[in-house]
């Protein structure tokens, strides 16, 4: 599990610094590709594995926290207010839930899901008065 989590984190770590919409899209592409390539394990983990094993749950929560920290860092949010932290954590949960539905139905192209997730991140950031990524 740790190895898979580290692999996912490495694949979704965009190059460069600061807010970059293209880097976000690339990271989301890699996340969805990872979920697709490991669909059975991803679904099993997200649907049931977390609740049954404390060590697995800790790895998943650590991965989520690292995604939130990475997003905050890319946005230049040195100190997260509880409101922004919760919004980013909620968005990560939305990505997970949407990925599960997408893997089950496959009724939307991956690039359309990626774009939807990116748009929802911008909307989430706007809702908490955080700076969304802007085009260069």
Mean pLDDT is lowest, of 17-26, 28-37, 84-93, 113-122, for 17-26
- The CA radius of gyration of the chain, in Å to the nearest whole number, is 14
Residue 95 belongs to domain spanning: 2-127
Give domain status of residue 18, yes or no.
yes
Q: Which pLDDT does position 51 carry in this prediction?
A: 58
Q: Is the pLDDT confidence value at 131 over 80? A: no
Give domain status of residue 67, yes or no.
yes
Read off the pLDDT of each residue in 92-119 and give the average, rounded to a whole number. 96
Give domain status of residue 134, yes or no.
no
Per-residue CA distances from 17 to 24, 42, 73, 118 (Å): 11, 29, 9, 18
Q: Which pLDDT does position 21 carry in this prediction?
A: 82
Q: pLDDT tens, 20-79?
A: 788 889 999 999 999 999 999 888 888 765 557 888 888 889 999 999 999 888 888 877
The CATH number that applies at residue 81 is 1.10.357.10
Give domain status of residue 112, yes or no.
yes
Cα dihedral across residues 99, 86, 8, 74: positive or negative? positive
Number of domains in the chain: 1
């Amino acid at each position: 599990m740790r190895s898979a989590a580290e692999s996912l984190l490495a694949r979704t770590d965009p190059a460069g610094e600061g807010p970059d919409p293209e880097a976000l899209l690339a990271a989301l592409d890699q996340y969805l590709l990872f979920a697709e390539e490991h669909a059975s394990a991803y679904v099993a983990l997200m649907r049931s594995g977390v609740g049954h094993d404390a060590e697995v749950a800790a790895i998943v929560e650590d991965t989520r926290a690292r995604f939130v920290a990475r997003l905050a860092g890319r946005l230049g949010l040195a100190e997260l207010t509880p409101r922004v932290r919760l919004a980013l954590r909620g968005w990560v949960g939305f990505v997970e839930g949407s990925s599960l539905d997408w893997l089950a139905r496959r009724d939307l192209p991956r690039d359309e899901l990626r774009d939807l997730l990116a748009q929802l991140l911008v909307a989430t950031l706007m809702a908490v008065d955080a700076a969304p990524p802007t085009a260069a």
